[in-house]
Amino acid sequence: MATFNKLQDYVEQLNKAVHNWSAHTFKAAFSNTAPSATNAVLADITQIGTGGGYTGGAGGGITLDTVTLSETGGTAKVTIADEVFTASGGSVGPFRYIYVYNDTASSPTDALVMYYDYGSSITLADGESITIDFDPTNGFWQMV
């Protein structure tokens, strides 16, 4: 199970209305470079290169679906549909970290939210898949 790691700048940008979990587009980006908790934007990280169906660079990664914000009893919760990425036309990786970032954010551009650490590097052979498994019960993220 991949571990959830919050990036420090996220809470500042959240409170500056940079992130809108109801309307913005969030993406997952793959990296094999050890993260720093102070990474703030997509340009701060080293994504894997384009290939095998994965698109790197600015705005790169995989678009996340049905990102939904709800609130019950004063606790906000964000749920995200599981995302399956399948390498196509070549291998993808190696990568160990999957970042979630806000592709809509423009100031700062592509503001990072968090990253998952899969513990060791993964390389997808052509046709192999990885599932980003977002918790359907507790949500991707909660704010009390």
Binding region for other proteins (CB under 8 A): 17, 20, 22-23, 65-66, 68, 79, 81-84, 86, 118, 122, 124, 128-131, 133, 136
Tell me how far apart the alpha carbons of residues 55 and 98 are, in angstroms, rounded to a whole number: 14
Measured from the CB atom, the residue of 55 and 68 that comes closer to other proteins is 68
Q: How far apart are CB 123 and other proteins at their closest, in Å?
A: 10
Measured from the CB atom, the residue of 68 and 109 that comes closer to other proteins is 68
Q: How far apart are CB 45 and other proteins at their closest, in Å?
A: 20
CB neighbourhood size of 108 (10 A): 17
Which residues are within 8 A (CB) of 113 and not within 5 positions of it... i.e. 6 or more apart?
A: 6, 7, 10, 19, 26, 99, 100, 101, 102, 141
